[in-house]
Chain A
Amino acid sequence: MSAYERVKQWNTFARIWHIYDAKWQNPFDSAKVISKHIQGLHKPIYHPLNNCGDHVIVFNSRHIALPGYEWKKRAYFHHTGYPGGASWTLAWQLHEINPTLVMQKAVKWELPRGLSKFGLMARLHIFPDEEIPEELLKNVTSQLRQLRPVPRTLDSYSDKEIEEFPKVMDYPNDYILK
């Protein structure tokens, strides 16, 4: 085997570590992308019996964004097994308790049903903030693209930028600025 063939072999079968910034991202849309990379569905050598999935590190999971009023409309169901043991936790309450759980459950639901889920979920590493352990971060060789642009607040623009931005509307002559 030539050196080129050998490197090609390594690159094909090596486990890649991806990193994903979840800031202002919808966890349910991101879960579709993340679950594909965890299973290895993006690779041409994919086969259900082939263990070719990658690792994904998700950070800033505390700063995920849900559309509209979904923080208070989405409920997470749990039953203890005893009579009257049902409970419904709203998404914002769950996120307050643990800022990684909404993201984790979103990816878990996206994976195929069965016992392979446990092995696949072990390749997902979620961190609520920007602090990632050094031993995980040194493996990272690839970054997943964000699905939504991170919006800029009005405070992040300087006064000069706001002033020089093209104006759509002018005040009438007799308007007193407030």
Chain B
Amino acid sequence: MMNIHGLTKTLASRSFQSVSVGRNIHVTATSFLKQIVEQKQGKTLTIEAVYQPSPRSSTLIKLPEVEDKECCSLCKLDLPIKHTDVLILSQFLRSDGCMLSRRVTKLCSKQQMRMSNLVSMAQKAGLMSKLNPRNSKKNPKLRYGEKKFNNYWDESLMRPL
């Protein structure tokens, strides 16, 4: 029986081998965050893992310049976002409809709270029904009781920023 140290050693050597040969064998879970780039200059072969650009980098909005450095992106833009603006609200969501954390969104706490409230309004109004957990009822017309009928929300009743 192989001891743990020996196992890790063989795994490490295997992973190195997979990189050098270029085969698609992964020892750890694949996240596709980095791309392995091989460059050969003369006798030296450099293998480098480079972060891939995010899918949003091409369509990012240009933020206006504000004196306050600790201003978050939504405070800078100063948009009157409503719960019907699903194209903006869906940017803060995972594919199962959960809100992204502040580490990811980089919003201030007030804006993060406001966005999560607007998202819950949009979900209740059935405007983002596909962004939900896999086993949930995706069609808002099939919901139970009063939830199957159309409703809307008034943003002026929300706590001001």
Q: Do A and B come from one complex?
A: yes
Nearest-CB residue, chain A, relative to B51 = A173
Inter-chain CA distance A161–B86, complex, in Å, is 12
A92 touches B149 (CB 8 A): yes
> Which among A26, A154, A175 is the interface contact of B87 at CB below 8 angstroms?
A154
Inter-chain CA distance A157–B60, complex, in Å, is 19
Digitize B94-126: 1 where CB-to-A-CB distance is under 8 Å, 0 elsewhere: 111000000111110000000000000000011
Q: Specify which chain A residues have a CB less than 8 angstroms from the CB of B15 in the assembled complex.
A: none
Enumerate B49-63 residues with CB–CB distance to A below 8 Å: 51, 54-57, 59-61
Question: Which of B51, B55, B154: most chain A Cβ within 10 A?
Answer: B55
Q: Specify which chain A residues have a CB less than 8 angstroms from the CB of B130 in the assembled complex.
A: 154-155
Q: Is A117 an interface residue (CB 8 A)?
A: no
Q: Is A10 an interface residue (CB 8 A)?
A: no
Interface size grouping (class) on chain A: 35 or more
Q: Is A152 an interface residue (CB 8 A)?
A: yes
Q: Is A131 an interface residue (CB 8 A)?
A: no
Known contacts A148-B152, A157-B87: does B146 contact A168 (CB below 8 Å)?
Answer: no
Q: Is B74 an interface residue (CB 8 A)?
A: yes
Enumerate A81-133 residues with CB–CB distance to B below 8 Å: 90-92, 95
Inter-chain CA distance A148–B94, complex, in Å, is 30
Known contacts A24-B150, A63-B150, A153-B86: does B127 contact A167 (CB below 8 Å)?
Answer: no
Q: Specify which chain A residues have a CB less than 8 angstroms from the CB of B87 in the assembled complex.
A: 154, 157, 161-162, 165
Q: Specify which chain B residues have a CB less than 8 angstroms from the CB of A164 in the assembled complex.
A: 59
> Which among A66, A165, A170, A174 is the interface contact of B57 at CB below 8 angstroms?
A170
Inter-chain CA distance A172–B57, complex, in Å, is 11
Q: Is B91 an interface residue (CB 8 A)?
A: yes
Q: Is A19 an interface residue (CB 8 A)?
A: no
Interface size grouping (class) on chain B: 35 or more
A70 touches B151 (CB 8 A): yes
B145 touches A72 (CB 8 A): yes
Nearest-CB residue, chain B, relative to A173 = B51
A151 touches B125 (CB 8 A): yes
A154 touches B90 (CB 8 A): yes
Chain B: minimal CB distance from A11 (Å): 37
Q: Is A68 an interface residue (CB 8 A)?
A: yes
Enumerate A18-54 residues with CB–CB distance to B below 8 Å: 24, 26
Known contacts A157-B87, A173-B51, A176-B33: does B149 contact A167 (CB below 8 Å)?
Answer: no
Q: Is A134 an interface residue (CB 8 A)?
A: no
User: A-contacting residues of B (Cβ < 8 Å)?
Assistant: 31, 33, 51, 54-57, 59-61, 73-74, 77, 84, 86-88, 90-92, 94-96, 103-107, 125-131, 145-146, 149-154
A-B contacts, 10 listed (Cβ < 8 Å)? A68-B151, A70-B151, A71-B146, A92-B145, A154-B86, A167-B91, A169-B107, A171-B54, A171-B56, A171-B104
- Return the 6 tightest CB-CB contacts between A and B, nearest first: A92-B146, A65-B150, A71-B146, A151-B84, A166-B61, A72-B146
